[in-house]
Amino acid sequence: MELCSRSLMRFTTPTILLLFLLSCSTFTSTEAYDALDPNGNITIKWDVISWTPDGYVAVVTIFNFQQYRHIQAPGWTLGWTWAKKRGDMEHDGRVPKNFTLKAPGPGYTCGPAKIVKPTKYVTSDGRRVTQAMMTWNVTCTYSQFLAQKTPTCCVSLSSFYNDTIVPCPTCTCGCQNNLTQPGSCVNPDSPYLASVVSEQEKRNSYAPLVQCTSHMCPIRVHWHVKVNYKDYWRVKVTITNFNYRMNYTKWNLVVQHPNFDNLTQLFSFNYKPLNPYQNINDTAMLWGVQFYNDLLMQAGPLGNVQSELLFQKDKSTFTFEKGWGFPRRIYFNGDNCVMPPPDAYPYLPNAGLRQNVSLLVLLITLLTSVAIQFVHKLERNMKQFLLIVIVGEFTAILLL
């Protein structure tokens, strides 16, 4: 990802020169254990490349091996302490220890520096291979629990088969509280909106300034089950930014749903299946199309991006019952989005009455589906007309 700076040079003590490289293994993933990215970690490689009379020169490379957790503005910081001089180092080299990685906030835990096989370098002409004098590896893993972050993202749900729109749970990311924290959120129609936002910008903090909502989250992901076809079904996903202080560049969404093994088409987002467990393809990473919607603009009329997903039904597993059509898990930029409680999901009308399928019901279903397929090809205003006619005919048949 682009959020990696190429190389950073830093002098720490006068005796040790460190050259920083941040390796961005493409668009690549962590909680200390994240079920969707079990091998995700950040690895710091510390290569001593030459000895100097009073110390050494080292190249420090940071590899982000996480599938979907990238480093956001204002960037990362790496800290460490020096171990006491050790007799087993031939030179007066100093061993770094107790690494702390902020990327940018807390959340990462780094293990000890381990001496590993020295890195080999191929010279630029490709003819010689040199090798580091010494190499240490440090592995850092992320834990959302450790980050002690309040949620930053929530999910709302709706469907074509039920009018109910299930909103994000109230107070997911905070509560509106005019008494103790006036100004904790902004009303979009406030005449002072512009001045509040620019005031906050001057303070130069990265704390979100959110639009007043019942959930108070900077990000909401809405999943709408839009259409049911014979062999396919269609979902519309909308990501809305409620934060007036953040343009999310290179955002990403991780979605877990069992039908991702048969995703047929995806509009206006990029897609990559994540296979944490080889043979289960139920998780996907979605991200924006460059120059089109890879930038999720700050709160306001432009602060949203959307896509439609077309899934092929697997007749043995597909159902709209029991909320099957809704996602199991959603992450925005690596952070878990809070879902509404399962018992609030929109459900199929008359779900309780379905056991008694009479011949009449079968007949109605058959005729309606024939009618609807036919009508699909016609204009919208024609549709109502035609449906009425067919229902009329149907009534006639019944009366006969």
Ligand X SMILES: *[C@@H]1O[C@H](CO)[C@@H](O)[C@H](O)[C@H]1NC(C)=O
- Of the residues 12, 15, 184, 262, which one makes contact with ligand X according to CB under 6 A: 262
Six-digit token pair at 240? 């809305």
Residues 80-99 that bind ligand X (CB under 6 A): 81, 98
Query: Among residues 263 and 386, whose Cβ is nearest to ligand X?
Result: 263
Q: Assess contact for 122 and 131: CB atoms under 8 A.
A: no
Scan residues 175-204 and list those touching ligand X (CB under 6 A): 176, 178, 187
What minimum distance in Å lies between the beta carbon of 306 and ligand X? 19
CB 241 within 8 A of CB 304: yes
Q: Does 247 help bind ligand X (rule: CB under 6 A)?
A: yes
- Give strand pairing partners of 273: 284
Shortest Å distance, C-beta 296 to ligand X: 10
Applying CB under 6 A, among 12, 109, 281, 304 the residue interacting with ligand X is: 281
Residue 306 binds ligand X (CB under 6 A): no
Residues 26, 124, 180, 279: which binds ligand X (CB under 6 A)? 279
**The one among 50, 130, 150, 164 contacting ligand X by CB under 6 A:** 164
Closer of 245 and 390 to ligand X (Cβ): 245
283 lines the binding site for ligand X (CB under 6 A): no
Nearer to ligand X, 312 or 390 (CB): 312
Q: Minimum CB separation from ligand X for residue 73, in Å?
A: 9
Rank residues 8 and 390 by Cβ distance to ligand X and give the closer one: 8
Handedness of CA 173, 177, 180, 183 (dihedral sign): positive
**H-only helix segments in the chain:** 144-147, 193-203, 359-375, 380-399
Q: Judged by CB under 6 A, which of 56, 63, 76, 269 binds ligand X? A: 63
Q: What is the size of the binding site for ligand X (CB under 6 A)? A: 40
What phi and psi, each to the nearest 5 degrees, are found at residue 383? -60, -50
In the bound complex, what is the minimum distance in angstroms from residue 378's beta carbon to ligand X?
27
Under rule CB under 6 A, residue 344 binds ligand X = yes
DSSP assignment letter at 204:
T
Does position 124 interact with ligand X (CB under 6 A)? The reply is no
Residue 207 touches ligand X, criterion: CB under 6 A: no
Tell me the β-bridge partners of 243.
210
Cα(400)–Cα(398) distance, integer angstroms: 5
Query: Which of helix, strand or coil describes residue 207?
Result: coil
Tell me which of 92, 199, 314, 393 binds ligand X, using CB under 6 A.
Answer: 314
Stretch that binds ligand X, among 145-153, 285-293, 353-361, 376-384 (CB under 6 A): 353-361
Altogether, the residues listed in the chain come to a count of 400
Smaller CB distance to ligand X: residue 151 or 340?
Answer: 340
d(CA 362, CA 192): 59
Query: Interface with ligand X includes 270 (CB under 6 A)?
Result: no
Closest distance between ligand X and the C-beta of residue 53, in Å? 28
Exposed e or buried b per residue across 46-72, where buried means at least 16 C-beta atoms within 10 angstroms of its C-beta? bbbbeeeeebbebbbbbbbbbbbbbbb
**Segments of 185-327 assigned E as strands:** 185-186, 210-211, 219-228, 232-241, 248-249, 252-256, 263-266, 269-274, 283-288, 295-296, 304-312
Segment near ligand X (CB under 6 A); pick from 123-131, 329-337, 343-351, 383-391: 343-351
User: How far from the centroid of its chain's Cα atoms is residue 161's Cα?
Assistant: 27
Instruction: Name which position in 105, 183, 273, 392 contacts ligand X (CB under 6 A).
Output: 273
154: left (phi over 0), alpha (psi -120 to 50) or beta: beta
DSSP letters spanning 247-267: -EET-EEEEE-GGGGGEEEE-
Q: Which of 15, 109, 139, 368 binds ligand X (CB under 6 A)?
A: 139
Greatest C-alpha distance within the chain: 105
User: By C-alpha distance, which of 301, 299, 216, 317 is closest to 259?
Assistant: 317
Site string for ligand X, 23-52 (x = CB under 6 A): ----------------x-x-x-x-------
Report if residue 349 touches ligand X, rule: CB under 6 A: yes
Pairing of strands 153-159, 219-228: parallel
Interaction site with ligand X (CB under 6 A): 39, 41, 43, 45, 63, 65, 81, 98, 100, 116-117, 137, 139, 162, 164, 166, 176, 178, 187, 245-247, 261-262, 273, 275, 279, 281, 297-298, 312, 314, 344-347, 349, 353, 355-356
